[in-house]
Structure 1
Amino acid sequence: MSDSGRRPPRLVADRRGKGRGNPPSRTAARKPARRKRRTGSRRKAPRNPVVAAVTGLFAFVTRMLWGLTWRVTLIVALLIGGGVAYYYATLPPYEQILDGRARGSVTLLDRQGEVFAWRGEVFGGVVTADTVSPHLKNAVIATEDKRFRLHPGVDPIGIAGAIRINLSEGRGPLQGHGGSTITQQTAKLLCLGVRYDPAAWETQAAYEADCRQTTLWRKLREALYAMAMEAKYSKDEILSIYLNRAYMGGGAHGAEAAAQRFFGKPARNLAPSEGAMLAGLLTAPTALAPTNNLERSRKRAATVIRLMEEQGYLTEAEAAAALAQPAALSETAEAKAGGYFADWVMSSTPEYFTRDTTEDVVITTTLDRAMQRAAEEALLHIFETKVREGSEAQAAIVVMSADGAVRAMVGGRKTRVSGVFNRATQAKRQTGSAFKPFVYATALELGYHPNDMIRDEPLTIDIPGSGPWSPENYTNDYAGLVTLTEAFKRSLNIPAVKISEHVGRENVRRVAADFGIESDLAAGPALALGASESTLLEMTAAYAGILNGGSSVSPYGLMELRLKGDAGALIDNSEGGIGERVIREEAARELIYMMEKVVSEGTGRRAALPDREAAGKTGTTQAARDAWFVGFTADYVAGVGMGYDDNTPLSGVTGGGLPAEIWHETMRRVHADLPPRPLPMLRPAERAPAASRDGPAAERRGRDDVADSVLEQVLRDLFGAN
């Protein structure tokens, strides 16, 4: 057969995949077969079942934990968001929560209208982060929360650090350091929005204790509240709330009150050292208060200054200057918030205006701070120079005007105190011979004359139920026939008893009571010798009644009381404390003459002033347990009392000794800038005594009258007043 009919094959291969309708080439048809590989000899070895099981379990646990984690995270986020949203909705405008006090404050002004003391929960006024001194603001941030501008209300870094410190010091994780931010502290100050309700808490203290709880649940709520505050308020607004509500010691709530309380200046004018001291108080306001321990407060302020330097708020030079010149207390702060005088004014004013007030009250008082300093310096001087070291004897001083306006008060040797026992107003002590002016006042009122004669001689009075009583003079001797003035200036006891018995004890008791001696007065003949008890304030006020011409006096320290911001006064004592007349003015002026002789010639010579007349009376009680000197010039009355708190007898002290010297030092300072004025006294030459009281006949008549009076008193004691 021949191949002539066939076409020779092409020498060029066909294009792959080209040409429609062309059957696939043999090569193309075989490609699928080539892809099939024989894998029998290359198949991987089966996996270890243990490894497979572990791997599968790990994958399962991972998927389960991941699913649980994102679900729990979502739930927690929703709960946190809900809590924050809830608290956010309850937060008022920040202006409404700047003053968080439950009670009001009392500001006390002296007679010149200057602030000298505060009481209650003092709030000096609203400040903001923009209006306070930048040194105070920076000191607070550096000390309390250095990441304040960065966190959202809660600082995880600070919390972790606090937990680490607590555990390292052997405490629980939430005990001690809390890692709280300023925002969290502010939330706590706001008590998480819970207001004080007297029906829910027995006391304010119980409410505050509940607000300070540190349980885990409480801390969680506090964190939510803090984050809500961060969402509601700006950082400066939160800082403003904190600076207004934080307690800074000494009764001061807020930066303005603390600045005024301790430094006598507004918060905007605080220097770096002062701002550091206030910021340092925030950790322990009572313990670190500069009025309690200035040195401790300065040490804490030095730590704050170093923190401010480390964080860039102060340069090295500024920090060195602040450390070299630490903050100093104002004169008012040095005076310990008014001391005894402020305590007395607060206790003598209705409680609804003082202790229980919910308003801010302003009280203008009678205090003269120059006289207060004079009294304090005089007391200190005498105890430093005249009293043996280690003596625990106490003394008190009262200075007042003739109308009863108290100008100075010292209730003990420690003058820079408040809230302590006041020996000028609270200590009731026997008055001794300081009571005798009321005996002689009664006699002068009934017609006796300073030059009338009386015999100082042994005397025995039979007291029903007690037996015979024989008074003695301090010197244990007798002066014989003496004038009333002589007996008075020498403080002879027997003439005083004779006069008291002659004019009638009831009359003496009534005169003393009308002059303001409110204590129970002795019923027996020892009344004339000061067996009764009284306070120094009462005695000084009674002597003021003698100076003013014989009218009673009510001692007072409050001149005007008003609510802060109101012009009208709720209490007005501008008319003074002079009351009803007790004895005639002529009798009072004669008594002043006799009392002047006590100072110029008698037992009170140590009280004499070099440039002016002075009058007074010494007093020493039985066994020398108390010693007094009370007296006056034409301008002021002052009383001094001395003794031990436990009634231990004084060693070698009489009223004419140390008390008279304290009185002298006080009044010398009080009158330093006053021109001398004569006493309003009536000398005997200006009124002749009645002829019937002169000579031996008068002496016999006086002695007979005394005997009759003694018999009359005995009959009164037995059968009654009639």
Structure 2
Amino acid sequence: MSTSNRGRSRLVADRRYKKPTAAKTTGKPSRPRRKKAPRKTRGPLGWVLSLLLWPFRLLFRLALYGTAVATLVVAAAVFYVYGTLPDYSALLDGRARGSITLLDRHGDIFARRGDQFGGAVTTETVSPHLSNAIVATEDKRFWWHAGISPRGIASAIRINLREGRGPLSGHGGSTITQQTAKLLCLGVEYDPAQWDSEAAYISDCRRGSLARKGREAIFALAMEAKYSKAEILSIYLNRAYMGGGAYGAEAAAQRYFAVSAAELNPAQSAMIAGLLTAPSSLAPTSNLARSQDRAATVLRLMNEQGYLTDDEATYWQQNPATLSTRNSNPDGGYFADWVIRAIARAEDAADGDAGDNRSSFDNDILRALEEASRDQVLQTTLDPAIQRAAAEAVDQVFSTRIREGSKAEVAVVVMSADGAVRAMVGGRDTDASGVFNRATQAKRQTGSAFKPFVYATALELGYGPLDTVVDEPFCMTIPGSGRWCPENYTSDYKGRVSLTDALKDSLNIPAVKISESVGRDLVHRVSADFGIASDLADTPALALGASESTLLEMTGAYAGILNGGSSVTPYGVVGQDGSGIGERVISPQAAGELIWMMQQVIERGTGRRAALPDREAAGKTGTSQEAKDAWFIGFTADYVAGVWMGYDDNTPLTGVTGGGLPAEIWREVMTRVHADLPARPLPAIAPARAAPAPAPQPAPQAQTGQNRQERPQRERPRDPVQSLLEQVLREIIGGN
């Protein structure tokens, strides 16, 4: 073959693309490239959805950024507060006030106020049952949360809304840490230069505004970062008010059970923990049965949370805690409250502070203890036997004579003729403490119980019990008010009656006539001098008791009549300055005649149901306008007693007048008070022509001038003004 074609080039074209080198080196086939999917075009529906979702995306981003910023702000605030917190030991017990111990007239202790036992405790030194009971009751997630409990707050809001309140009104959902922060006043120390009193400081610390709640939460978070849970609970155990005047666990344990806080059993621990929500009203010294019921609930909570077994909870519920025999005598709670308030007012007066806020018993304790740098022991005038007699009488009448469900209240005061208060009951709950005291705090219309002071003025001006006045339709024109026509309670008229009959039958028209004739200003002056310090109305209705007064004031004024006409300042502390018998108001002669007239009220008049079986007594009934108040105040030769009945909301009484239930309560009280006392006659001065044995009889005729001369002459100077007043009085009431 020919070899001539070897040098010719190939007829096929060269490869246009090189072979992949990877294939040569690895022996693996190459992957084909994935083509990009064409971008879909957003349709009308997509645009609509995008527009709808855009606000939500914006809100989510804003919330996210806002939460981040808020977290940083809160963290900064917590970090700042953390740096201001002192060492734990400095907060454990910050109270340095002394205490007040009250002794009765025999020298026995009947009440204590303040932290009289002292001694800081910790969770390691108190009974574990107490720590468990407080956690179970106040904050069951205490050992796990970080200082605040969103779950608890949400639960509290739900309860508040369900009960018809605002979301932040009522239950607050506060943890124990938050409560401790409040007790520490968020770290603000008391500065006398900044606050009017420690009471004002405490009041400000307890404010519950939304801003305050926020600061409280920050302080609580800082405390959780600074202190251990045990340390926070220890501070709380020392700072919390636990009723009965006791601050802290040790004081409460000693106050109620006469044991140390380390010795408390589950029932005692549950009782202390249970009263933290309402220390004054739930304290066992106020109402033991109510305190035991609350403790039973706490024991159930301890069982549900694993602190007590079923058998243990059942046992302690069936064997509730009781007050120790040393502290179980609850008599005199209202009296002790009154003494504490009197001390607080005296300190306010010494500081030049009038002080209008007298509603908080806790604040009164603080004011009384502010200046006490050491424990004080005060001898008081309280007589425990008389106190028990008053309480038993109230219980007896209310249990047998008052319909079930009635909300009518009562107050009783018993004192000696010199103003020494021997017993005080401020409400139907006769052994209560730290609650509203109707004997000293309730100002009520006095009604006809005021009339003795009208007749005291007339007797002091020289007129006698047998002088007469005409009981008849009577009207007056009062400037600015028009025509005023008073009526008698019975809506009838007796004609000409003696002053004695006018008083014993509690006739209104004679009282107004006499008041206007002797001068309303003189009646006002006599009653004020006797100790009725309340504002008295400057109208003709003054004679009918249209003004308001307290039972303590009225009883003290009647004591002035009994002691012969000298003013009396009721007092409860032996040696208390400015108390007891004061200056003379009316002469002994006038006082003796008035006592005789008031004796007829009980023997023959509206107060017959108050008559005592074995001794003389004198007094006066009183029923205010529309029967909103019913009074009976009277005395024997030994004691003066006052009784008031009514409703706190001024609801009219139904079928009750001063001569009814109040007179019966007065009789029951005085019968018990005088059980072991010999009968003594009243210091009454009967008029010269009075019958030796008073008995119901027609109203006596008008007395003649000759009869008047037969009366003993007053040993006091006469002046022209007095003579003119006497002449006007004779012309009006029928004298010659």
Q: TM-score, normalised by structure 1?
A: 0.65
Q: Which runs of 5+ in 1 are unaligned?
A: 1-44, 47-82, 146-153, 561-571, 714-722
2:638 counterpart residue number: 635
Where 1:665 maps in the other structure, the secondary structure is helix
Q: What residue number does 2:684 align with?
A: 681
> Given the alignment, which residue of 253, 256, 267 partners 1:259?
253
Find the aligned partners of 1:166 and 1:463 in 2 and give their Cα distance. Answer: 66
- Counterpart of 1:431, as a letter, is T
SS in 2 for 1:642: strand
One-letter code aligned to 1:458: E
Encode CA deviations 1:596-631: one digit per residue, 9 max, x unaligned.
222122221111112222111112344444332110
| Cα separation, 1, equivalents of 2:310 and 2:650 | 58
| Greater alpha carbon shift after TM alignment, 206-215 vs 396-405 | 206-215
Q: What is the rounded CA distance, in whole Å, between the counterparts of 1:135 and 1:407 in structure 2?
A: 43
Structure 1 position 326, deviation (Å): 1.2
- 1:299 to partner: Cα distance: 2.4
Counterpart of 1:342 (choices 327, 337, 340) is 337
* 1:5-32 deviation digits (Å, cap 9, x = unpaired): xxxxxxxxxxxxxxxxxxxxxxxxxxxx
Q: 1:167 and 1:490 mapped to 2: Cα distance?
A: 63
What is aligned with 1:124? 117
Aligned residues: 597
CA contact (8 A) 1:110 1:368 kept: yes
TM-aligned CA distance change 1:193 to 1:371, over 3 Å: same
- Equivalent positions of 1:142-221 (< 5 A) are 158=144, 195=189, 203-204=201-202, 221=222
Q: Equivalents in 2 of 1:619, 1:264: separation in Å?
A: 45
Distance 1:275 1:548 in 2: 51
Partners of 2:93 and 2:120 within 8 A in 1: no
- 1:539 and 1:639 in contact (8 A); partners too: yes
Partner of 2:94: 100
CA contact (8 A) 2:419 2:559 kept: yes
Q: Secondary structure at the match of 1:424?
A: coil
User: Which residue is 2:15 aligned to?
Assistant: none
Cα distance in 2 for partners of 1:141, 1:412 equals 31
Tell whether the 8 Å contact from 2:334 to 2:433 is kept in structure 1 after alignment: yes
Pairwise CA distance, 1:114? 1.7
Secondary structure of the corresponding residue to residue 638 of structure 2 = coil
Q: Highest Rg: 1 or 2?
A: 1
Structure 1 residue 103, shift from structure 2 partner: 7.4
Q: Which residue of 1 aligns with 2:612?
A: 609
SS at structure 2 position matched to 1:252: coil
1:600/1:263 CA distance change after superposition, 3 Å: farther
1:76-115 map, 5 Å: 94=89, 97-101=91-95, 109-111=103-105, 112-115=107-110
Q: Any conservation in 2 of the 1:341–1:409 contact (CA below 8 Å)?
A: no
Return the offset for 1:455. Answer: 4.8
Amino acid at match of 2:93: D
Quote how far apart the aligned CAs of 1:257 are. Answer: 1.7
1:341-396 deviation per Cα after TM superposition (whole angstroms, max 9, x unaligned)? 61574164434785445354747343444433433333333233223444444433
1:577 to 566, 569, 580: 580
Distance 2:620 2:541 in 1: 18
Alpha-carbon distance change, 355 to 494 in structure 1, aligned in 2, over 3 angstroms: same
Do the aligned partners of 1:398 and 1:638 also contact (CA within 8 Å) in 2? yes
Instruction: State the alpha-carbon separation in 2 of the partners of residues 437 and 322 from structure 1.
Output: 57
Mark the CA change 1:345 to 1:677 in structure 2 (over 3 Å): closer, same or farther.
farther
Q: Give the alignment of 1:402-551 within 5 angstroms.
A: 402-415=417-430, 421-450=436-465, 452-458=466-472, 460=474, 462-463=476-477, 465=479, 466-467=482-483, 469=485, 472=488, 474=490, 476-478=492-494, 480=496, 482=498, 484-551=499-566
Which residue identity does 2:548 align to in structure 1?
Answer: E
* 1:495-537 CA distance string (max 9 Å, x none): 4445445544433332222112233444455443334433322
Structure 1 residue 592: deviation in Å? 1.6
Residue equivalent to 1:31: none
User: In structure 2, what is the Cα distance between the partners aligned to 1:490 and 1:411?
Assistant: 29
Tell me, in whole angstroms, the C-alpha distance in 1 between the residues paired with 2:194 and 2:660: 59
- Report the CA distance shift for 1:396/1:316 in structure 2 as closer, same or farther (over 3 A): closer
Deviation at 1:463, TM superposition (A): 4.0
| Identity level (%) | 53
Q: Give the letter for the 1:516 counterpart.
A: G
Distance verdict in 2 for CA 1:143–1:593, change over 3 Å: same
CA distance in 1, matches of 2:650, 2:218: 56
Q: Note if 1:593 corresponds to 2:587.
A: no
**What TM-score, normalized to structure 2?**
0.64
Do 1:367 and 1:407's aligned partners in 2 also have CA atoms closer than 8 Å? yes
The one-letter amino acid of 2:341's match is M
CA distance in 1, matches of 2:86, 2:402: 63
Q: State whether structure 2 residue 244 is matched by structure 1 residue 244.
A: no
Quote how far apart the aligned CAs of 1:239 are: 8.3
Q: State the shift of 1:548 in Å.
A: 1.2
1:302 correspondence with 2:317 = no
Task: Sort the Cα spacing of 1:397 and 1:658 in 2 relative to 1 into closer, same or farther, 3 A.
Answer: same
Query: Matches of 1:646 and 1:252 in 2, distance apart?
Result: 31
2:726 & 2:474 partners in 1: Cα distance?
A: 11
3-state SS of 1:634 partner = coil
SS in structure 2 of the partner of residue 618 of structure 1:
strand
Q: What's the counterpart of residue 324 of structure 1?
A: 318
Q: Which residue of 1 aligns with 2:370?
A: 358
| Contact preservation (8 Å) 1:627, 1:643 | yes
Cross-structure match for 1:709: 728
Change (3 A) 1:214 1:599: same
8 Å Cα contact 2:274-2:291 kept in structure 1: no
One-letter amino acid of the counterpart of residue 253, structure 2: A
Q: Deviations over 1:296-325 (max 9, x none)?
A: 5322442477599x77xx999977653431
Counterpart code for 1:322: W
Give SS of 2:370's match: coil
Give the whole-Å Cα distance in 1 for the aligned partners of 2:185 and 2:458: 68
- Counterpart position of 1:36: none
Alpha-carbon deviation of 1:433?
2.6
Output the CA distance in 2 between the equivalents of 1:215 and 1:506.
57
Which residue of the partner structure matches residue 395 of structure 2? 380
**In 1, are the aligned partners of 2:252 and 2:272 still within 8 Å (CA)?**
yes
Given that 2:271 and 2:292 are in contact with CA atoms closer than 8 Å, whether structure 1 keeps it comes out as no
Match of 2:672 in 1: 669
For residues 609 and 179 of structure 1, do their structure 2 counterparts lie closer, same or farther at Cα, with a shift above 3 Å needed?
closer
Task: Tell whether the 8 Å contact from 2:412 to 2:641 is kept in structure 1 after alignment.
Answer: yes
Q: Using a 3 Å threshold, how does the CA distance of structure 1 residues 573 and 269 change in structure 2: closer, same or farther?
A: farther
Matched residues in 2 for 1:192 and 1:520: separation?
43
**What's the secondary structure of 1:408's corresponding residue?**
strand
Question: C-alpha offsets along residues 152-179 of structure 1, whole Å, 9 cap, x if unaligned?
Answer: xx97xx46999999899999xxxx9999
**Separation in 2, partners of 1:286, 1:575:** 31
Alpha carbons of 1:397 and 1:138: their partners in 2 closer, same or farther (altered >3 Å)?
closer
CA distance in 2 between counterparts of 1:166 and 1:367 reads 47
Secondary structure of 2:622 counterpart: strand
Residues of 2 paired with 1:422 and 1:323: CA distance?
A: 33
What secondary structure is seen at the aligned counterpart in 1 of 2:620? Answer: strand
Q: For residue 547 of structure 1, report the CA deviation from its aligned partner.
A: 0.9
Deviates more, 1:131-140 or 1:501-510: 131-140
The residue identity in structure 2 corresponding to 1:506 is D
Question: Which structure 2 residue ranges, 5 or more long, are not aligned?
Answer: 1-25, 28-77, 158-170, 352-363, 693-700, 710-723
Q: Note the C-alpha offset of 1:688.
A: 12
